[in-house]
Structure 1
Amino acid sequence: MAAKHRIRLARVYEEPAPDEGTRVLVDRLWPRGIRKTDPRVGHWLPDVAPSTELRHWYNHQAELFDEFETRYTAELETSPAAEAFDELRDMVRRGPVTLVTATREVELSHLVVLAGLLTPGKGR
């Protein structure tokens, strides 16, 4: 049986938990107030983040989440997002990963979509 790796979601401003594994920032823009050498960011994959246009359209409106998920999933099928998603999937296969974002409403963010796609038996 394959090892089951955990995917955790968090804000980049939160202190890392000892057991959370690799932290991956999946925002297109670098978060305000965080240095490039900050240990709260292990890897940065900006290409896996939603496009600026999609992010502005969605604007974390709960009633648009289902459509956002559909559009964002379609974006992840195209280059360079597809390559970044494959890199992220490889990280998840190797061990626990914490997806981090500067977004205040993590539960309405692209992290939820990514975690669903990265869960074994789902996704591309």
Structure 2
Amino acid sequence: MKQPHRIQCKRVYDGVEKSDGHRVLVDRVWPRGIKKETLQADEWRKELSPSSELRKWFNHDPQRWAAFYQKFHAELEQQGEAVESVLKGANGGTLTLLYAAKDTEHNNAVALKMYLEKQ
């Protein structure tokens, strides 16, 4: 399998760029105020987002970040096919993980990127 040469995270409210490559929304809930046409995502992979319980527990609290991403990575271990599929989708190019959270350092897309880069 051809790994993406680059994985990046980007807020759904930021503009689309040619360099984004394969754009994948990785939030469980559709982002507020965004039309499907505006987002221009190649896929929406809810199964690559944290469970509702974990998302609510984390509540974007930086104090819980380390525990959150470790628990999320454990959940991702159960999503082998989805993980492989999203990596394949980039076809050796750039994979852009789209998210809606305001915090650009502590969110599920960043945690997912960390996980994917270890694969």
TM-score range (shorter-chain normalised) is: 0.7 to 0.9
What SS is found at the alignment partner of 1:19?
A: helix
Using structure 1 for the length normalisation, give the TM-score.
0.84
What SS is found at the alignment partner of 2:24?
A: strand
Maintained 8 Å contact 1:48/1:82: no
> In 2, Cα distance between the equivalents of 1:3 and 1:71?
24
Of residues 72, 97, 104, the one that matches 2:95 is 97
Maintained 8 Å contact 1:8/1:98: yes
Maintained 8 Å contact 2:60/2:107: yes
| Percent of pairs with identical residues | 37
Cα deviation, residue 77, structure 1: 1.6
The residue that corresponds to 1:22 in the other structure is 22
Using structure 2 for the length normalisation, give the TM-score.
0.87
Does 2:98 match 1:108? no
Residue correspondence of structure 1 range 34-49 to structure 2 within 5 A: 34-49=34-49
Cα deviation, residue 39, structure 1: 4.5
- Superposition CA RMSD, Å: 1.9
User: After TM superposition, which residue ranges in structure 1, 4 or more long, deviate above 6 angstroms?
Assistant: none
Maintained 8 Å contact 2:3/2:88: no
The residue that corresponds to 1:8 in the other structure is 8
The residue that corresponds to 1:117 in the other structure is 115
Maintained 8 Å contact 1:12/1:41: no
Q: Which runs of 5+ in 1 are unaligned?
A: none
Cα deviation, residue 51, structure 1: 0.6
What SS is found at the alignment partner of 2:36?
A: coil
Maintained 8 Å contact 1:15/1:40: no
Higher helix share: 2
Aligned length, in residue pairs? 118
Q: Which runs of 5+ in 2 are unaligned?
A: none
In terms of mean alpha carbon deviation, does 45-54 or 84-93 score higher?
A: 84-93
Q: Which has the higher contact order (CA 8 A, sep 6+)?
A: 2
The residue that corresponds to 1:32 in the other structure is 32
